Structure 1
């Protein structure tokens, strides 16, 4: 009996404090949170996907660690000396073989003023610590190491292509619904980096770290 009275007393005190707290919060304009009234919060998935609806890209912005960021349109690419590259690669639909026409990725970097020098003069061979990230309108992203395209290193003929020329007897054909430009990476066995509807090309530094053994 004594325990029941004690339990009832504790329950009464708890209820009284809860009511008092509710009244105080309502007086100062703060609504008490309950399971029926959870706190509102942003939809993080929606925020992350904002601006990722896909669609046709009409220009490419080259920026990041370049001296003079620059925007290119299809007409800009077509005004530059074209290069062709024949590639074979595997897609989800099977093997593909095409001849692409476009402008070297390295050329676009140079037209944007070239790589911005690293202010840390203690860093040797700065360019091989840099990479190029390419973003599509659906937020698909691929990366190319600067050392892959820098003529002082591998110098690979990575193209920002705007047309195909699979039939030599015909004029180059624009890419259609794939946007006005796509990346072409000779030597890649799979087409994962053949990003289309490109909207941004950005140069970044890889993070510097020292490991102590």
Structure 2
């Protein structure tokens, strides 16, 4: 029992040191590195579909994976406690060399060896005293770990996906159809607690590659460029039919074209590559980067981007799903060749053009609707750069259709709000909505989000009583 407890105590102490090094200095943390490896697997089509079938859209799969990684890490270190300190440290070193650079792997192995050697006197003490000492070490170390990671786990548990132009200033009432930063959906390749948290005073944007004048900009430098506000709807490629991984906001920043003009583009440059602080990488043909509304933004709805939405700088590209629009940008490189992007390497569509979609916001699936009382059917429709020209609703499963009223958009890149007053008869009704974009009706063929975005009509049964 004491050997097991000694191994567990050494594992927890090493975890405390690693977690503090990660939080204070940004050094590699083995459970996080293991988790990153797992999330790459989770992004592949087969695993993605299985996770989302059982755990839904959101951070549920990531939370499960991270808990599993913690058990794996602490369990493995506990087993190493059965070995002599030097042997256990060498085994740990071999395992860490697979996960991280050599200096950090050696550092963790050395700290583990020192912890094991420090615990040896406790193992040789009287059995009762030994148990008390090891119990105290284990419990105290675990408490320190939980305290140090408390904020991180709070962010994990709060990190589920959600939703719910004139110049806009922070604190101003939001126009109809604009989602607050707090309510804008959130999706990340990372567990939220491991998203980059960047400080403005330490952050710079490097522009390199096939440019005439490679430069490094501070956020203050970038805010001196001509600024532009744009109302634009973000849409996640993993959004299911009728889902809420979509949101509309008013963004402030500057055109990528303006930045490229400052550095000068060399002949032969064909692609612009975005590199983010978390290792995320995406690209865009250079010609599209020159389009008027392709922006680098630092503010949303008149306030600075928060950490989850990409502070201090993110990309906005009209007509593309959110996977193309990298957050936490630290470098822009111009290249003559394209690079595999983070998600396209895992089976997702490289181009990620937005497909037409529409949904009900009212009625809500699973909630009753009053009979013989006029209600307002309403929702949103979106097709990226293609304008929504008509939205139709059926209350009889698609046998007949009624045209809705469309709210005039303030921006060509914003979603379209639709509504229809209606009085239901008592009974069970199947409601369906479909949009027309660019003169073509939205397809009724159902397809999963993988690999290029979901398709199909939003439909469900409503109990009217």
TM bucket normalised to smaller: 0.5 to 0.7
Determine the structure 1 residue equivalent to 2:246. 95
- Partners in 2 of 1:65 and 1:41 — Cα distance? 39
Is 1:55 paired with 2:186? no
Deviating 4+ runs (over 3 angstroms): none
**Which structure dedicates a bigger proportion of its chain to helix?**
2
Distance 1:45 1:107, change over 3 A: farther
TM-score by length of 1: 0.60
| 1:33-52 superposed Cα distances (whole Å, 9 cap, x missing partner) | xxxx99x79835424xx9xx
Is 1:71 paired with 2:201? no
Distance 1:164 1:43, change over 3 A: same
TM-score by length of 2: 0.29
Structure with the bigger RCO (C-alpha within 8 Å, sep 6+) is: 1
Determine the structure 1 residue equivalent to 2:259. 108
Determine the structure 2 residue equivalent to 1:174. 304
| 1:39-86 superposed Cα distances (whole Å, 9 cap, x missing partner) | x79835424xx9xx7331611101111000111111112111101222
Q: How many residues align?
A: 147
Distance 1:44 1:104, change over 3 A: farther
| 1:73-107 superposed Cα distances (whole Å, 9 cap, x missing partner) | 11112111101222112236611111111011121
RMSD between superposed Cα atoms in Å: 2.8
Determine the structure 1 residue equivalent to 2:276. 136
Is 1:146 paired with 2:286? yes
- Partners in 1 of 2:205 and 2:100 — Cα distance? 24
Secondary structure, in 3 states, of the residue corresponding to 2:235?
strand
CA contact (8 A) 1:148 1:156 kept: no
**Which structure dedicates a bigger proportion of its chain to strand?**
1
Secondary structure, in 3 states, of the residue corresponding to 1:43?
helix
Query: Where does the alignment leave 5 or more consecutive residues of structure 2 unmatched?
Result: 1-89, 105-193, 239-243, 339-465
Distance 1:89 1:179, change over 3 A: closer
